[in-house]
Amino acid sequence: MTSVADSVAFQYAPPKAAHGARRIIVKPNLGYPVPAPVTVGLPVLRAVLTGLRRVAPRAEIILLEGVCTKVSFSEVMARLGINQLLAELDDPEIRLLDADALPGRPYPNQSPKPERFAEMYAPALLDEADCRLSVAAFKRTTLRERPLLSAAIKNLYGLFPRAIYRARSPHARGQLHVPDVQRILVDVYFTLGARFDGAVVDVTRKFVSRDWQPDVGAAVPVGKVVAGEDLLAVDMQAAELAEEPLSEYFQTIAERRQATGA
Protein backbone atom coordinates (compact mmCIF):
# COMPACT_ATOMS: atom_id res chain seq x y z
CA MET A 1 0.00 0.00 0.00
CA THR A 2 1.12 3.54 -0.74
CA SER A 3 -0.16 6.86 0.56
CA VAL A 4 -0.27 10.17 -1.27
CA ALA A 5 -0.30 13.55 0.45
CA ASP A 6 -0.23 17.14 -0.67
CA SER A 7 3.31 18.38 -0.11
CA VAL A 8 2.22 21.24 2.16
CA ALA A 9 0.35 18.82 4.46
CA PHE A 10 2.75 15.86 4.42
CA GLN A 11 3.22 14.09 7.74
CA TYR A 12 5.20 10.88 7.67
CA ALA A 13 3.71 7.66 8.99
CA PRO A 14 6.70 5.28 9.28
CA PRO A 15 6.52 1.55 8.53
CA LYS A 16 6.14 -1.02 11.30
CA ALA A 17 9.88 -1.76 11.22
CA ALA A 18 10.57 1.75 12.53
CA HIS A 19 8.33 1.51 15.58
CA GLY A 20 10.51 1.13 18.64
CA ALA A 21 13.61 0.63 16.47
CA ARG A 22 17.06 1.06 17.96
CA ARG A 23 18.80 2.04 14.71
CA ILE A 24 17.22 3.45 11.56
CA ILE A 25 19.05 4.21 8.32
CA VAL A 26 17.64 6.88 6.04
CA LYS A 27 19.13 7.07 2.54
CA PRO A 28 18.27 10.61 1.37
CA ASN A 29 18.75 11.72 -2.22
CA LEU A 30 21.51 14.30 -1.57
CA GLY A 31 24.18 13.27 -4.05
CA TYR A 32 24.64 16.62 -5.81
CA PRO A 33 25.25 20.17 -4.50
CA VAL A 34 22.01 21.32 -6.13
CA PRO A 35 18.78 21.90 -4.17
CA ALA A 36 15.36 20.35 -4.79
CA PRO A 37 14.09 18.96 -7.04
CA VAL A 38 17.52 17.67 -8.11
CA THR A 39 17.82 16.48 -4.52
CA VAL A 40 15.09 15.74 -1.98
CA GLY A 41 13.41 18.79 -0.47
CA LEU A 42 14.33 19.71 3.09
CA PRO A 43 10.66 20.02 4.21
CA VAL A 44 10.07 16.40 3.18
CA LEU A 45 13.28 15.19 4.81
CA ARG A 46 12.40 17.07 8.00
CA ALA A 47 8.93 15.49 8.03
CA VAL A 48 10.46 12.03 7.67
CA LEU A 49 12.87 12.57 10.56
CA THR A 50 10.13 14.03 12.74
CA GLY A 51 7.85 11.09 11.99
CA LEU A 52 10.58 8.59 12.78
CA ARG A 53 11.37 10.23 16.10
CA ARG A 54 7.69 10.10 17.01
CA VAL A 55 7.54 6.28 16.72
CA ALA A 56 11.15 5.53 17.73
CA PRO A 57 11.99 7.99 20.51
CA ARG A 58 15.27 6.30 21.43
CA ALA A 59 16.54 5.30 18.00
CA GLU A 60 19.84 6.24 16.48
CA ILE A 61 18.84 7.71 13.10
CA ILE A 62 21.59 7.69 10.49
CA LEU A 63 21.43 9.74 7.30
CA LEU A 64 23.57 7.69 4.93
CA GLU A 65 24.55 9.05 1.53
CA GLY A 66 27.39 8.94 -0.98
CA VAL A 67 27.83 11.87 -3.34
CA CYS A 68 28.36 11.75 -7.11
CA THR A 69 30.36 14.89 -7.81
CA LYS A 70 33.83 16.43 -7.56
CA VAL A 71 32.54 18.46 -4.61
CA SER A 72 33.38 16.87 -1.25
CA PHE A 73 30.73 15.16 0.86
CA SER A 74 30.98 17.78 3.63
CA GLU A 75 30.69 20.65 1.17
CA VAL A 76 27.66 19.11 -0.58
CA MET A 77 25.84 18.71 2.73
CA ALA A 78 26.70 22.28 3.74
CA ARG A 79 25.45 23.72 0.43
CA LEU A 80 22.19 21.76 0.66
CA GLY A 81 21.50 23.00 4.17
CA ILE A 82 21.70 19.62 5.86
CA ASN A 83 23.97 20.88 8.62
CA GLN A 84 21.50 23.68 9.33
CA LEU A 85 18.58 21.23 9.35
CA LEU A 86 20.32 18.98 11.88
CA ALA A 87 21.15 21.99 14.04
CA GLU A 88 17.50 23.04 14.03
CA LEU A 89 16.33 19.54 14.95
CA ASP A 90 18.84 19.58 17.84
CA ASP A 91 18.79 15.80 18.17
CA PRO A 92 22.18 14.25 19.02
CA GLU A 93 20.97 10.82 17.95
CA ILE A 94 20.51 11.90 14.33
CA ARG A 95 23.84 11.51 12.53
CA LEU A 96 25.09 12.12 8.99
CA LEU A 97 27.53 9.60 7.49
CA ASP A 98 29.37 9.32 4.17
CA ALA A 99 28.68 5.90 2.63
CA ASP A 100 31.99 6.04 0.74
CA ALA A 101 33.91 6.20 4.02
CA LEU A 102 32.38 3.16 5.72
CA PRO A 103 33.47 -0.49 5.76
CA GLY A 104 31.56 -2.52 3.22
CA ARG A 105 30.52 -6.07 2.59
CA PRO A 106 29.03 -8.01 -0.32
CA TYR A 107 25.25 -8.38 -0.46
CA PRO A 108 23.98 -11.33 -2.51
CA ASN A 109 21.71 -10.68 -5.46
CA GLN A 110 18.41 -12.37 -4.62
CA SER A 111 17.22 -12.33 -8.22
CA PRO A 112 16.94 -15.77 -9.84
CA LYS A 113 18.68 -14.26 -12.88
CA PRO A 114 21.22 -11.51 -12.09
CA GLU A 115 21.75 -9.04 -14.90
CA ARG A 116 25.44 -8.51 -14.16
CA PHE A 117 26.28 -8.69 -10.46
CA ALA A 118 25.81 -11.86 -8.40
CA GLU A 119 26.66 -9.68 -5.39
CA MET A 120 27.20 -5.99 -4.78
CA TYR A 121 29.27 -4.15 -2.16
CA ALA A 122 27.61 -1.62 0.13
CA PRO A 123 28.09 -0.41 3.73
CA ALA A 124 27.98 -3.24 6.26
CA LEU A 125 26.06 -0.83 8.48
CA LEU A 126 22.91 -1.56 6.47
CA ASP A 127 22.77 -5.00 8.06
CA GLU A 128 22.99 -3.49 11.53
CA ALA A 129 19.78 -1.46 11.29
CA ASP A 130 16.26 -2.36 12.33
CA CYS A 131 14.75 -0.20 9.60
CA ARG A 132 16.02 1.12 6.25
CA LEU A 133 14.30 3.87 4.26
CA SER A 134 14.90 5.47 0.85
CA VAL A 135 13.90 9.15 0.73
CA ALA A 136 14.17 10.36 -2.83
CA ALA A 137 13.56 13.14 -5.28
CA PHE A 138 11.73 12.35 -8.53
CA LYS A 139 13.67 12.87 -11.77
CA ARG A 140 13.55 11.91 -15.43
CA THR A 141 16.65 11.73 -17.60
CA THR A 142 17.11 10.22 -21.05
CA LEU A 143 19.65 7.50 -21.75
CA ARG A 144 19.97 5.81 -25.12
CA GLU A 145 16.78 7.59 -26.22
CA ARG A 146 14.80 5.91 -23.41
CA PRO A 147 13.31 7.63 -20.35
CA LEU A 148 15.01 6.76 -17.09
CA LEU A 149 13.07 7.57 -13.94
CA SER A 150 15.00 8.15 -10.74
CA ALA A 151 13.14 7.75 -7.47
CA ALA A 152 13.39 5.41 -4.46
CA ILE A 153 15.18 2.53 -6.22
CA LYS A 154 17.62 4.61 -8.26
CA ASN A 155 18.37 6.60 -5.09
CA LEU A 156 20.19 3.54 -3.74
CA TYR A 157 23.08 4.12 -6.18
CA GLY A 158 24.64 6.43 -3.59
CA LEU A 159 25.23 3.49 -1.24
CA PHE A 160 27.70 1.75 -3.53
CA PRO A 161 31.36 2.76 -2.98
CA ARG A 162 32.93 4.74 -5.79
CA ALA A 163 36.28 3.08 -5.08
CA ILE A 164 34.78 -0.20 -6.31
CA TYR A 165 32.26 0.96 -8.91
CA ARG A 166 34.15 3.86 -10.52
CA ALA A 167 35.06 3.77 -14.20
CA ARG A 168 36.86 6.62 -15.94
CA SER A 169 35.90 9.22 -13.35
CA PRO A 170 36.73 8.69 -9.66
CA HIS A 171 33.76 10.89 -8.78
CA ALA A 172 31.06 8.67 -10.29
CA ARG A 173 29.94 5.05 -10.27
CA GLY A 174 30.52 4.35 -13.93
CA GLN A 175 30.48 0.57 -13.53
CA LEU A 176 26.80 0.84 -12.58
CA HIS A 177 26.07 2.17 -16.06
CA VAL A 178 27.51 -0.85 -17.91
CA PRO A 179 26.08 -2.46 -19.96
CA ASP A 180 22.83 -0.59 -19.28
CA VAL A 181 21.51 1.35 -16.27
CA GLN A 182 18.05 -0.16 -16.75
CA ARG A 183 19.51 -3.64 -16.28
CA ILE A 184 21.82 -2.71 -13.40
CA LEU A 185 18.87 -1.20 -11.52
CA VAL A 186 17.29 -4.66 -11.47
CA ASP A 187 20.41 -5.95 -9.71
CA VAL A 188 20.33 -2.96 -7.35
CA TYR A 189 16.76 -3.74 -6.38
CA PHE A 190 17.38 -7.42 -5.69
CA THR A 191 20.58 -6.79 -3.72
CA LEU A 192 19.55 -3.77 -1.64
CA GLY A 193 16.09 -2.52 -2.61
CA ALA A 194 14.28 -5.64 -1.46
CA ARG A 195 15.96 -5.26 1.96
CA PHE A 196 14.52 -1.79 2.51
CA ASP A 197 11.50 -1.31 4.74
CA GLY A 198 10.00 1.75 3.12
CA ALA A 199 10.32 4.71 0.82
CA VAL A 200 9.28 8.32 0.46
CA VAL A 201 9.37 10.09 -2.91
CA ASP A 202 9.20 13.87 -3.00
CA VAL A 203 7.15 14.87 -6.03
CA THR A 204 6.59 18.42 -4.86
CA ARG A 205 8.29 19.21 -8.15
CA LYS A 206 9.52 16.69 -10.66
CA PHE A 207 12.87 17.33 -12.30
CA VAL A 208 13.02 16.84 -16.05
CA SER A 209 16.51 16.70 -17.52
CA ARG A 210 17.06 17.81 -21.09
CA ASP A 211 19.36 14.82 -21.66
CA TRP A 212 21.30 12.36 -19.48
CA GLN A 213 22.47 14.89 -16.91
CA PRO A 214 20.68 14.40 -13.56
CA ASP A 215 21.36 17.95 -12.36
CA VAL A 216 20.65 20.09 -15.44
CA GLY A 217 17.05 20.60 -16.51
CA ALA A 218 13.67 22.04 -15.50
CA ALA A 219 11.42 21.78 -12.45
CA VAL A 220 7.73 21.02 -13.00
CA PRO A 221 5.21 21.47 -10.14
CA VAL A 222 3.30 18.36 -9.02
CA GLY A 223 2.68 19.08 -5.34
CA LYS A 224 2.62 15.54 -3.95
CA VAL A 225 4.60 13.22 -1.68
CA VAL A 226 4.28 9.44 -1.94
CA ALA A 227 5.16 7.03 0.88
CA GLY A 228 4.89 3.29 1.46
CA GLU A 229 6.68 0.12 2.44
CA ASP A 230 7.35 -1.22 -1.09
CA LEU A 231 9.95 0.73 -3.06
CA LEU A 232 8.65 -0.41 -6.44
CA ALA A 233 5.04 0.44 -5.60
CA VAL A 234 6.05 3.88 -4.32
CA ASP A 235 8.09 4.58 -7.46
CA MET A 236 5.26 3.50 -9.74
CA GLN A 237 2.74 5.65 -7.87
CA ALA A 238 5.09 8.62 -8.09
CA ALA A 239 5.47 8.09 -11.85
CA GLU A 240 1.68 8.05 -12.25
CA LEU A 241 1.28 11.29 -10.30
CA ALA A 242 4.08 12.90 -12.30
CA GLU A 243 2.48 11.68 -15.54
CA GLU A 244 5.68 10.00 -16.63
CA PRO A 245 5.95 6.72 -18.59
CA LEU A 246 7.36 3.83 -16.56
CA SER A 247 10.98 2.92 -17.12
CA GLU A 248 11.77 -0.57 -18.34
CA TYR A 249 13.40 -1.65 -15.09
CA PHE A 250 10.11 -1.24 -13.20
CA GLN A 251 8.47 -3.88 -15.37
CA THR A 252 11.46 -6.23 -15.18
CA ILE A 253 11.50 -6.05 -11.37
CA ALA A 254 7.74 -6.63 -11.22
CA GLU A 255 8.02 -9.68 -13.48
CA ARG A 256 10.92 -11.15 -11.47
CA ARG A 257 9.05 -10.66 -8.20
CA GLN A 258 5.97 -12.34 -9.60
CA ALA A 259 8.02 -15.26 -10.86
CA THR A 260 9.63 -15.80 -7.47
CA GLY A 261 6.57 -15.03 -5.37
CA ALA A 262 8.47 -12.20 -3.63
Nearest to 160 by CA among 31, 37, 246, 42: 31
pLDDT for the residue numbered 68: 93
Give the pLDDT confidence of 60-82 residue by residue, as tens digits: 999 999 999 999 999 999 999 99
pLDDT for the residue numbered 216: 79
In this prediction, residue 142 has a pLDDT band, given cuts at 50, 70 and 90, of confident
Question: Domains in the chain, ordered, with CATH?
Answer: 2-260 (3.40.50)
pLDDT for the residue numbered 262: 62
**Alpha-carbon span 80 to 75, nearest angstrom:** 9
Assign residue 122 a region (left: φ > 0; alpha: ψ between -120 and 50; beta: otherwise). Answer: beta
